[in-house]
Amino acid sequence: MSIRFHEEHKTFYLTGKESSYIFSLNEQGFLTHLHYGKRIAEADLRYLMQGIDFANSPSVEDCQPSLNAIPQEYALYGRGDYRSPSILIKTQSGSRLTEFRYQSYQIVKEKPAIKGMPSLRGGETLIVTLYDKINGLELDLYYTIYEEQSAVARRAVLKNKGTAPVSILKISSFSIDFARNDFDLISLPGEWAGEREIERQPLRRGIFEASSLRGHTSHQYNPFFALCDKSANEDLGECYGFNLAYSGSFTMKAESVSHGFTRVNGGINEVDFAWKLDVGEEFESPEAILVYSEKGLNKLSQNFHDLYREYFINPNFVFKKRPVLLNNWESTYFDFTEKTLCDLIEKAKDTGIDTFVLDDGWFGKRNDDWAGLGDWTVNTDKLKGGLKTVIEKCKECGMKFGLWFEPEMVNENSDLHRAHPDWHIASPDLESCRGRHQWTLDFANPEVVEYIKGVMSDCLEQNEISYVKWDMNRPMTEFYSKALPSDRQEETAHRYILGVYELAEYLTKKFPRVFFEGCAGGGGRFDPAMLYYFPQIWTSDNSDATARTYIQYGTSLCYPLSSMSGHVSICPNHQTGRVTPIQSRMDIASFCATGYELNLHALQKEDFDKISEHIRFYNGIHELILRGDLYRLRSPFEGNYFSQMVVSKDKKKALFVMMKMMAKANDCYPFIKLKGLDGNTEYEIAGMGTFRGDVLMNVGLRFPKNLLDFETRCFVLNAVEK
């Protein structure tokens, strides 16, 4: 790994494991992007800029090429570059022009954290300082790279060193111009109960945008997309992944318009965003993570997974065995008593389930979703002995106890709202929209965050709680905070998410042994910033095994298996009405942080009896889920089979799964070629025999042709010791 500035070439060389990121200063002091891709030796690449003519756009200095014709590192607005700008500032005079030119650089060994926002740890960081002498603004561009990773983390910090406040209208976390536009673009759109579907399309002229205006990252678009060679597949081709470590309204754009270039930029969504930066203040953007693979999409995913496991996800938990839990939501919904819960816990005894999680409905007057949010004291109508009785029951049955919260919300019918009618996000002119009959608390108001810190801390201090499920069930509307003056209203959405991070930081630090799982109506806030606090996230409210193959497959493009939680649920499935074999539900949930979410009493005896077997099996493979390399074998988006495997780093153990989607009369025998094994090693598969790695990878395994709808095969491969 190295970051070097070559004085003579005026070029920065950022060299990671398999990638190089190279840019230089041109004579005017603008940063010019030269290469991002396969690792190369340091070379003078400024020849790429020679012969660029004046182009059909105005230029900063007459007879010089226009900024529109030069690949930029961070793009100015209003100075001849007509593509998406990286930064837009409004000064008191009404001007929106800045001209940031190179000032200095420094290389730091210790990566500076972002104040109040999660970011990657470790690595070596280059900080390039640009200066806008018109307004006295300093802009620091951060680039972090890692010896063992092919990743560049980027962000920007703006400092007002001038004499008057300015308004930031847009500040990208990163921008990069590729001198080519022959890409395919792969994004992860979706919806509630159908998150992160893989969508691949040619990059066309115009702007592709993945974004959210919902105040959270959303089910509709994940803050991720990839550009890849048109011929790229899972195993071949250059691929570039982009991901934002931000949980609020975001935008990521890929723009292909001029001169065969592609510009990618992203950060906080500029719609309804403005930030007043007073003299002496600074503003830090969230971090963006750029990952490269020269060996297709599967390697791109592995690179993201390794990076996030090593440097992003809470290190206290990332490689620790996850709780195997029983959640009562799909079993009882709001309709439970102490007895219902204790019976459920009793039934789970000796199955191997180690944590019981009490979901929504335990607090306030929460008997349905019309009331109670905000009142985080126990509902003693339902739980006469408080949480204590349930916790005692868990202990008696050898289990730990977990609890659901939705800290960011309030119902109109709640004591909290009656005491503080101005604590939710609401405009002065309109009645607030309700979502699931609830309002969003104003986390832009520090008083609200302090209050929630207090009530949640009390609950966690007073009860033996080992796990918290942190939910968030509606997008924001009426972006207005009564705690902010009129000239800071466009700061509301960003301040809200800073408030969420503040609470998460406080609770995870104060209760370092409590395991936090994220959730937002299923997987509506699945991003690296959330994973920083919550090592796993409820991937989707859709617990149907077949639907989960799509959701988990799409999610795996960027996020590791251990970050997804997945539960075995009852059939017919509550979201899709589909009936799938219990074994299939277990097999698909095994490729996650696993658990159960069903009424155990409603299971047939033979299905119930399989639980212990499943958990024993899972306990034997959980290290693979935590640390292994994922290989996607068959995409459910592309055919009748879903298949993937995960292989230990030393290639001595692997876990395989496949599902047939629809049975077909007179079907052919499916062959699936395995990946990631050691070609010279013999692997034993219980019940099937012993096979050499090269046979498994090049000939493949043959499966029965008459598998039924949604039937799976799942097995472990163990290297035979010589």
Annotated active-site positions, please? Answer: 471, 541
Nearer residue to ligand GLA within complex by CB, 21 or 404: 404
Nearer residue to ligand GLA within complex by CB, 521 or 628: 521
**Residue 151 corresponds to which tokens in the numbers above?**
């990743």
Q: Which of 522, 566, 628, 636 binds ligand GLA (CB under 6 A)?
A: 522
In the region spanning residues 340 to 359, those forming contacts with ligand GLA, defined by CB under 6 A, are 359
**Residue 429 buriedness (CB in 10 A; 0-12 / 13-18 / 19+):** exposed
Nearest one of 225, 229, 297 to 255, comparing CA atoms? 225
**Chain centre to alpha carbon of residue 284:** 20
Number of chain residues interacting with ligand GLA (CB under 6 A): 11
Binding mask 290-329 for ligand GLA (x = CB under 6 A): ---------------------------------------x
Cis omega (within 30 of 0) on the bond before 428?
A: no
Q: Which of 442, 541, 544, 629 binds ligand GLA (CB under 6 A)?
A: 541
From 257-265, 336-344, 514-522, 607-615, give the range in contact with ligand GLA by CB under 6 A.
Answer: 514-522
From 165-173, 288-296, 420-428, 515-523, give the range in contact with ligand GLA by CB under 6 A.
Answer: 515-523
From 36-44, 517-525, 563-571, 689-697, give the range in contact with ligand GLA by CB under 6 A.
Answer: 517-525
CA distances from 270 to 210, 252, 489, 525 (A): 13, 11, 14, 19
Does residue 519 touch ligand GLA according to CB under 6 A? yes
Nearest approach in angstroms of CB 519 to ligand GLA is 5
Does residue 521 touch ligand GLA according to CB under 6 A? yes
- Residues 6+ away with beta carbon under 8 Å from 430: 478
Nearer residue to ligand GLA within complex by CB, 236 or 514: 514
Does residue 544 touch ligand GLA according to CB under 6 A? no
Nearer residue to ligand GLA within complex by CB, 416 or 519: 519
DSSP 392-446: HHHHHTT-EEEEEE-TTEEESBSHHHHH-TT-B---SSSPPP-BTTEEEB-TTSH
Nearest approach in angstroms of CB 148 to ligand GLA is 35
Backbone phi and psi for residue 414, each to the nearest 5 degrees, phi listed first: -155, 155
Nearest one of 675, 682, 676 to 720, comparing CA atoms? 682
Binding mask 448-477 for ligand GLA (x = CB under 6 A): -----------------------x-x----
In the region spanning residues 388 to 407, those forming contacts with ligand GLA, defined by CB under 6 A, are 404
Would you call 13 helix, strand, or coil by DSSP? Answer: strand
What span, in angstroms and rounded, lies between the C-alpha atoms of 221 and 195?
Answer: 8
Q: Which of 376, 423, 534, 538 binds ligand GLA (CB under 6 A)?
A: 538
Tell me if 644 sits within 8 A of 630, measured CB to CB: yes
Q: Which of 140, 306, 360, 544 binds ligand GLA (CB under 6 A)?
A: 360
From 92-100, 160-168, 228-236, 516-524, give the range in contact with ligand GLA by CB under 6 A.
Answer: 516-524
Find the helix or strand (DSSP H, E) in which 100 lies. strand 100-108
Nearest approach in angstroms of CB 329 to ligand GLA is 5
**Residue 110 buriedness (CB in 10 A; 0-12 / 13-18 / 19+):** exposed
What span, in angstroms and rounded, lies between the C-alpha atoms of 326 and 564?
Answer: 16
Nearer residue to ligand GLA within complex by CB, 360 or 478: 360
Binding site for ligand GLA (CB under 6 A): 329, 359-360, 404, 471, 473, 519, 521-522, 538, 541
